[in-house]
Amino acid sequence: MSRQQDPFIGRDVLNGQFKILQKIGSGGMGSVYKALQPAMNRMVAIKILHPKLASRKDLVSRFRREARAMSHLTHPNTVKVYLYGELEDGSLYIVMEYLDGKNLNQTVRSEGPMAIERGLPLLIQACNALEEAHRAGIIHRDLKPENIFVTQQGGMKDFAKVLDFGLAKVTEREMRPGSVILTQEGMVFGTPEFMSPEQAQGKALTPGSDIYSLAVILYEVLTGKLPFDAKNPMEFIQLHVTTRPKPISERVPGKTFPPLLWTVLSRALEKKSSDRYASAAEFAHALQAVLAGLTAVPPFNDGSGRPPRPMMPSTGAIPTPLAQQAIAIPAGGLVPPPQRSSPLPRETEAVRPPLALLAGVALAFLTIGALLAFVVLNVMKK
């Protein structure tokens, strides 16, 4: 649709609160516009659902649920939602922070595949955003390079923002187990190129489904190629279900990667969700190890106080103490900070040794010991 034909461009919406300036993106569900919010003297992005979809009650309630959930996500690597609702004409909208930059797909298309030092931190940031969503019970279901934005924030270049949470899971018809729906508009339940095997089969999704998609994204970002060659969406779907992806170092002639990268990626690309990383935070932890140049992934501590999970199958090498140090202070942070205004996802809830607890327990043991000794002595005297 050209600028002239788009009915939203140039329009004042929500009682003149926003003036829609131009279209900045479009997908199966609607369009995204850049708009001015004069009262705040800032730009915002407004996503408006196709008016024809807004007449579908099931889609509307699902959209509302997703928008509400998304507005509760506070991770700095998740796009910030300001408000959502219905425009004067009944179209559903979401107003969000305006991001300056390009999505990952546009970035790779214009700048070529990324070096590990650039691609890994972006994906680690996306993992951190997903960790918060998963903990809140939200599975993205449509992770692909178009839904990860590369922007600047707080003076940080290459700041990742995860977009489009849960919207794309809305299909024209309800999903039936075992079926994959491709609508006339080419809208699918997820995107075949990045789809986990369980999604491709119409099975229930887990956080592991998002982890799989993130791994496919990373594969593409680093090589410029997908893990599979397919001629059409159905073929991609089939390959995700049945075929092991080509090792990343064999994908582009002359381009090799650290062996640990493939160890980590292939675990995230396991066909069975339960064979992948247990959480996005654990996947981020493994990617940090690759970024730090380690030859194996150190044990992962999920901050729950439970003993670390057994180490993933490694290349056989043992991490050096120096390398372990490097991973002990993850730059990306694994725990979502309470505030999204900070430029970096910082680890604000670092696991501290519970000193007070230890002291209390020691004191209790000493007291019990003394009492026991007293009783035993008394008994012996008698």
Ligand X SMILES: Nc1ncnc2c1ncn2[C@@H]1O[C@H](COP(=O)(O)OP(=O)(O)O)[C@@H](O)[C@H]1O
Residues designated catalytic: 142
Stretch that binds ligand X, among 22-30, 188-196, 261-269, 362-370 (CB under 6 A): 22-30
Complex with ligand X: residue 32 or 218, whichever CB lies closer: 32
For position 103 contacting ligand X by CB under 6 A, the verdict is yes
State the virtual CA torsion across 196, 48, 176, 166 in degrees, nearest 10. Answer: 40
DSSP 171: -
Q: SS3 for 202?
A: coil
Site string for Mg ion, 11-40 (x = CB under 5 A): ----------------x-------------
CB of 29 to ligand X, least distance (A): 4
Sole binder of Mg ion in the list 125, 147, 199, 223 (CB under 5 A): 147
Largest CA distance in the chain: 104
Question: Which does residue 63 bind out of Mg ion, ligand X, none, counting CB within 5 to 8 angstroms by kind?
Answer: none
| DSSP element (H, E) containing 161 | strand 156-162
For the beta carbon of residue 181, count every other beta carbon within 10 angstroms.
14
Sole binder of ligand X in the list 66, 131, 146, 220 (CB under 6 A): 146
Site string for ligand X, 299-338 (x = CB under 6 A): ----------------------------------------
Question: Which does residue 103 bind out of Mg ion, ligand X, none, counting CB within 5 to 8 angstroms by kind?
Answer: ligand X
Q: How far apart are CA 380 and CA 67, in angstroms?
A: 73
Question: Which does residue 198 bind out of ligand X, Mg ion, none, counting CB within 5 to 8 angstroms by kind?
Answer: none
The answer for residues whose C-beta is within 8 angstroms of residue 302's C-beta and 6 or more apart is 278, 279, 281, 282, 308, 309
Q: How far apart are CA 192 and CA 339, in angstroms?
A: 34
For position 24 contacting ligand X by CB under 6 A, the verdict is yes
CB of 297 to ligand X, least distance (A): 31
CB of 175 to ligand X, least distance (A): 17
Dihedral sign (CA 213, 215, 218, 220):
negative
Q: Which of residues 158-197 bind ligand X (CB under 6 A)?
A: 163-164, 167-168
Burial 33-70 (b: 16+ CB within 10 A, else e): bbbbbeeeeeebbbbbbbeebbeeeebbebbeebbebb
DSSP 129: H
Q: How far apart are CA 153 and CA 95, in angstroms?
A: 19
Q: Which of residues 66-85 bind ligand X (CB under 6 A)?
A: 79
Complex with ligand X: residue 18 or 98, whichever CB lies closer: 98
Q: How far apart are CA 256 and CA 115, in angstroms?
A: 11
Tokens in use for 136? 């809140």
Sole binder of ligand X in the list 13, 18, 20, 47 (CB under 6 A): 47
Q: Which of residues 82-101 bind ligand X (CB under 6 A)?
A: 96-99
CB of 54 to ligand X, least distance (A): 14
Q: SS3 for 78?
A: strand
For position 51 contacting ligand X by CB under 6 A, the verdict is no
Q: Which residues bind ligand X (CB under 6 A)?
A: 24-27, 29-30, 32, 45, 47, 79, 96-99, 103, 146-147, 149, 163-164, 167-168
